[in-house]
Amino acid sequence: MAWSIADVARMSGVTSRTLRHYDEIGLLPPAWIGSNGHRYYEEADLLRLQQILLMRELDLGLREIQAVLDSQVDRVAVLREHHQRLLTERDRLDTLASTVGRTIAELEEDKDGNNMTKINRPENLFEGFEPSPAAEAEVRERWPAAYEQSRQAIETMTDEDSEQWQREVTAQMIRFAEFMVAGTPVDDPAVQAEMDVHYQGICRFWTPNAAAYRGLGQTYVDDPQMRANYDKIAEGLAQYQRDAMFVYADSRLS
């Protein structure tokens, strides 16, 4: 049995244009081409497409995917590895969802956020989030004096200080997400007022000028792990906060 390119596009959600591109680069040629010039795919091709999409979900490039598929490796073993990675990611996302859910529940008890003191284990606020060594290294390289100032400030924090800071950061991320979901422009006075709170929070550790604050905002987007941490709260949050930081830097720090 064979399926047309339109059938495969409909079943897989991959556009016909992408399928034609996969054919052109030799990643997924059709089983045969009809007299009408249309591409047709058989079951083996659909299985190959599934593997391509699985590896794309794991952020592999097309060249890497083709190398795997064209090698003599055991495809079942490869699929088992993909399956395990997906299960691991599912578990991590489940943990993250529970983390955010707990925080939302705490915040909804008191709209002013005063109830944050009721959280018994503040370290749970960050379950499911992942640190970004690359971002830390970039800050250390670009702003060494600020990095040293920040490091010293962190070292002087007590456990209670650290817990309170974690609560404030989590609550603020959710407030920014609420602005974004509501469609509030980043230059809205309410967003910029929250941005001022964010800036003052940064100033507890170091005092960025306009360029440094813009650079920090860009890091939220450019660094994959930092962006992922923000976007796990709400898709697009990293970019929304970056844009709000740019507005704040231009209007308040320049």
Domain stops at, among 40, 56, 72: 72
* Host domain of residue 62: 3-72
Structural domain total, the chain? 2
Q: Are residues 63 and 148 in the same domain?
A: no
8 Å CB contact between 157 and 165:
yes
What was the pLDDT predicted at 195? 93
Q: Are residues 34 and 136 in the same domain?
A: no
State how far Cα 59 lies from the chain centre: 13
Q: What is the CATH number of the domain that holds 163?
A: 1.10.490.50
Q: Are residues 137 and 245 in the same domain?
A: yes
What was the pLDDT predicted at 153? 66
Q: What are the helix (H) ranges across the chain?
A: 5-12, 16-24, 43-57, 62-70, 75-109, 133-142, 144-155, 159-181, 189-202, 210-222, 224-231, 237-248
Q: Is residue 13 a part of any domain in this protein?
A: yes
What was the pLDDT predicted at 132? 46
Q: Is residue 118 a part of any domain in this protein?
A: no
- Residue 173 φ/ψ, nearest 5 degrees: -60, -40
What was the pLDDT predicted at 149? 62
Q: Is residue 82 a part of any domain in this protein?
A: no
How many C-beta atoms lie closer than 10 Å to residue 250's C-beta? 13
- What are the tokens at 227? 């962006």
How many C-beta atoms lie closer than 10 Å to residue 93's C-beta? 12
142-150's contacts with Cβ under 8 Å and 24+ in sequence apart are 142/215, 143/206, 143/208, 143/212, 143/215, 146/206, 146/207, 146/208, 146/212, 147/206, 149/205, 149/206, 150/205, 150/206
Q: For 92-121, give the DSSP string.
A: HHHHHHHHHHHHHHHHHH-TTSGGGGG-S-
Residue type, 81: E
Q: Is residue 204 a part of any domain in this protein?
A: yes
Q: How far is CA 214 from CA 141, 200, 219, in A?
A: 16, 15, 9
- What are the tokens at 20? 């034609």
How many C-beta atoms lie closer than 10 Å to residue 37's C-beta? 6
Q: Are residues 137 and 229 in the same domain?
A: yes
Q: Is residue 31 a part of any domain in this protein?
A: yes
Q: Are residues 135 and 216 in the same domain?
A: yes
Q: Are residues 61 and 145 in the same domain?
A: no
Q: Are residues 143 and 239 in the same domain?
A: yes
Q: Is residue 119 a part of any domain in this protein?
A: no
Residue type, 2: A
Q: Is residue 92 a part of any domain in this protein?
A: no
- Residue 32 φ/ψ, nearest 5 degrees: -165, 165
Q: Is residue 85 a part of any domain in this protein?
A: no
* Its pTM surpasses 0.85: no
Q: What is the CATH number of the domain that holds 67?
A: 1.10.1660.10
Output the tens digit of pLDDT for each of the chain's 254 residues.
889 999 999 999 899 999 999 999 999 999 999 988 899 999 989 988 988 888 787 667 788 888 878 776 666 676 677 677 777 767 766 666 666 666 566 566 655 544 444 333 434 444 444 444 444 555 566 656 666 666 666 667 677 776 677 777 777 888 888 888 888 999 999 999 999 999 998 887 778 889 888 988 988 888 887 888 787 777 888 999 999 999 999 999 98
